Amino acid sequence: MGGELDRDYLLASVQRALLGAAGDSLCGLCADLQNGSVVLTWYVRPGMPQEERDDLEIAGTEVIADFPAPFTIDERFVEVVDPSSALRIVGEWVFLRRGFTVTG
């Protein structure tokens, strides 16, 4: 895998894994490849139910299963306390709920 193929493969993998997994607490999701690691940055509302977090972690497991060893996964859950503040992009946006703004 290399370059643009990695990016396209990552985005397709994350979008597939996210189908049916995005609950009301998910505000946004960025995906990136960094030094052999799939980085998923989940932007979530405070107080997200454990069931929703479990669904997102399962989606992360499905994503890393699409990549060969020695790829690893790094999932970051960022609570969005102030919905009016811009969410910082980490890689590529895969999901963004209506009403949220982003920054580079």
CATH of 4-103, one of 3.30.70, 3.30.160, 1.10.3470, 3.30.230: 3.30.70
Domain boundaries, the chain: 4-103
Q: At 102, is the secondary structure helix, strand, or coil?
A: strand
pLDDT (tens digit per residue) in 3-19: 555 889 999 999 999 99
pLDDT (tens digit per residue) in 29-87: 999 999 999 999 999 999 999 999 999 999 999 999 999 999 999 999 999 999 899 99
pTM recorded for the entire structure: 0.92
